[in-house]
């Protein structure tokens, strides 16, 4: 392919837009985990234990996040969502373990300490280090798997600035804190194994995050030109002068963009109708039909079959083009218009947030409670 001036930048620009629409950086390759059988053979077991996620994985860190004695995993992805996820270890096992935290004297860092656990005739060594991969660090606690060993163990620590110390008579299946120069250890109990266990999560299309609500940056865009009859109620809605009267005392208005051919629009419509009727949620819904070339009668027929009871606008010709031009900046970061899309509008007519795909009303209500919708300034 012949390289032209600016071609490289244009390719990367298009690639970035593709990623925003849910494309994968590396072809939706599933994550893998290899099990060592102890005889230099490795088997990918990711699909068996639920680690085969489609997330363009970048790094993985091991830590006992729920303090039940087994290691869980925290993963990150490069450019696809979610960028951070937790895979909790809820396997049931009767194997034993010991978790060791070492604390050097003089408030020094534990990096560089060498920890050797002796369990009968078996020795294991772990070194405290700060890096284990791309921008990744495991927990500084050292986890030792002890298989079927049930007796007491001894722990030998070589401290970062030199000197060796041995801690004897330690029971298995606990966490111990070893402080330099004390010769004693502090025992910390675990939570019950698999406490409040979640089980394996259902299969998830990580690259399709339909319920993402994005708070928009300033300056906010105001829908201030519309003066059109709502075709199922007959009421006039003038965004320039009548928006506050339309929104009344509601915190926000959800402007829902839908089309008669959109199956996901139809799926979410009962939730939107219920939200509009609910007098306790401070939400009102306004629909905008995005079909092109339909007659008003055809739109009204679809609305009737979908049991839509909130006001809906239908633009054609120049009004439709003007509306699309107005909301284009809101959609640029989303990769363009995809239906259904909902615009979250404050009481003054400013668009404060956007969500594409089937909306989750419960999440939207939580979002509204958490985000201050005070009157914006500087617009």
Residue 6: pLDDT above 70? no
More confident residue, 329 or 376: 329
Range of the domain at 168: 96-188
* 217, 356: one domain: yes
Residue 128: pLDDT above 70? yes
More confident residue, 318 or 119: 119
* 238, 301: one domain: yes
Contact 312, 276 (CB under 8 A): no
Integer-rounded Cα radius of gyration of the chain: 29
DSSP per position, 250-274: -SEEEEEEE-TT-HHHHHHHHHHHH
Q: Which residue has the tokens 């005739």?
A: 121
**What's the pTM?**
0.49
Task: Return the sign of the alpha-carbon dihedral for residues 254, 257, 260, 261.
Answer: negative
Q: 197 is written with which tokens?
A: 């266990």
Shortest CA distance to 188 belongs to which of 54, 67, 33, 7?
Answer: 67
Residue 294: pLDDT above 60? yes
User: 345 forms bridges with which residues in the sheet?
Assistant: 253, 351
Per-residue confidence band for 199, with pLDDT thresholds at 50, 70 and 90: very low
Strands of the sheet with 96-103, listed across from one edge: 142-147, 96-103, 175-179, 185-188
pLDDT of residue 159: 95
User: 43 forms bridges with which residues in the sheet?
Assistant: 35
Contact 305, 274 (CB under 8 A): no
Residue 151: pLDDT above 50? yes
pLDDT of residue 142: 95
Per-residue confidence band for 65, with pLDDT thresholds at 50, 70 and 90: confident
Q: What are phi and psi of 370, to 5 degrees?
A: -85, -25
* 180, 238: one domain: no
Highest mean pLDDT among 27-31, 164-168, 355-359: 164-168
Per-residue confidence band for 229, with pLDDT thresholds at 50, 70 and 90: low
88, part of any domain: no
pLDDT of residue 13: 77
pLDDT of residue 284: 83
Per-residue model confidence as pLDDT tens digits over 342-378: 998 887 778 888 888 778 888 788 777 766 665 544 4
234, part of any domain: yes
- Residue 145 belongs to domain with CATH number: 2.60.40
Q: Count how many domains the chain has.
A: 2
Q: Which residue has the tokens 């830590």?
A: 63
Residue 304: pLDDT above 60? yes
* 167, 265: one domain: no
Residue 173: pLDDT above 70? yes
* 273, 323: one domain: yes
Per-residue model confidence as pLDDT tens digits over 36-62: 888 889 998 887 777 777 777 778 888
Say what percent of the chain tops pLDDT 70. 77
Per this entry, what is the length of the chain?
379
pLDDT of residue 243: 52
- Residue 273 belongs to domain with CATH number: 3.40.30.10
- Angle 37-40-46 from CA coordinates, rounded to 5°: 50
d(CA 204, CA 352): 29
Shortest CA distance to 290 belongs to which of 317, 268, 263, 257?
Answer: 257
* 253, 150: one domain: no
Average pLDDT, the chain: 79
Say what percent of the chain tops pLDDT 90. 22
* 267, 365: one domain: yes
Q: Is 3 exposed, middle or buried, given 0-12, 13-18 or 19+ CB atoms closer than 10 A?
A: exposed
DSSP helix/strand/coil, 91: coil
* 320, 221: one domain: yes
* 106, 240: one domain: no
Helix (H) or strand (E) holding 297: helix 296-305
Residue where a domain terminates, one of 120, 155, 188: 188
> Residue 97: CA atoms inside 13 Å, Cβ hemisphere, count?
21
12, part of any domain: no
């Amino acid at each position: 392919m012949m390289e032209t001036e600016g071609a490289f930048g244009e390719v990367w620009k298009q690639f970035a837009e593709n990623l925003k629409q849910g494309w994968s950086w590396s072809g939706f390759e599933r994550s893998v985990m290899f099990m060592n059988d102890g005889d230099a053979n490795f088997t990918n077991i990711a699909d068996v234990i639920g680690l085969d996620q489609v997330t363009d994985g970048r790094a993985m860190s091991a830590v006992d996040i729920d303090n039940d004695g087994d290691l869980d995993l925290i993963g990150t992805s490069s450019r696809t969502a979610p960028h951070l996820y937790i895979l909790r270890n809820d396997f049931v096992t009767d194997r034993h373990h010991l978790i060791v935290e070492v604390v050097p004297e003089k408030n020094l860092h534990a990096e560089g300490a060498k920890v050797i656990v002796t369990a009968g005739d078996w020795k294991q060594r772990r070194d405290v280090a700060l890096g284990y991969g791309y921008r990744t660090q495991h927990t500084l606690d050292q986890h030792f798997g002890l298989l079927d060993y049930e007796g007491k163990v001894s722990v030998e620590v070589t401290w970062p600035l030199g000197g060796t110390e041995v801690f004897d008579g330690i029971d298995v299946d606990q966490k111990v804190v070893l402080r330099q120069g004390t010769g004693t250890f502090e025992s910390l109990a675990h939570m019950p194994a698999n406490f409040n266990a979640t089980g394996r999560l259902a299969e998830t299309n990580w690259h399709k995050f339909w319920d993402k609500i994005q708070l928009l940056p300033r300056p906010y865009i105001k829908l201030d030109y519309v003066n059109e009859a709502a075709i199922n109620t007959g009421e006039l809605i003038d965004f320039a002068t009548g928006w506050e009267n339309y929104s009344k005392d509601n915190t926000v208005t959800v402007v829902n963009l839908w089309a008669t051919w959109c199956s996901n629009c139809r799926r979410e419509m009962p939730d939107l109708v219920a939200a509009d009727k609910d007098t306790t949620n401070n939400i009102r819904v306004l629909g905008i039909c995005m079909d092109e070339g339909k007659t008003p009668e055809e739109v009204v027929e679809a609305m009737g079959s979908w049991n839509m009871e909130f006001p809906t606008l239908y633009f054609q010709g120049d009004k439709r083009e003007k509306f699309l031009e107005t909301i284009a900046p809101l959609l640029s970061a989303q990769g363009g218009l995809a239906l259904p899309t909902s615009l979250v509008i404050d009481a003054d007519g400013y668009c404060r947030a956007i969500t594409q795909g089937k909306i989750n009303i419960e999440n939207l209500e939580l979002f509204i409670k958490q985000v201050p919708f005070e009157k914006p300034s500087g617009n």
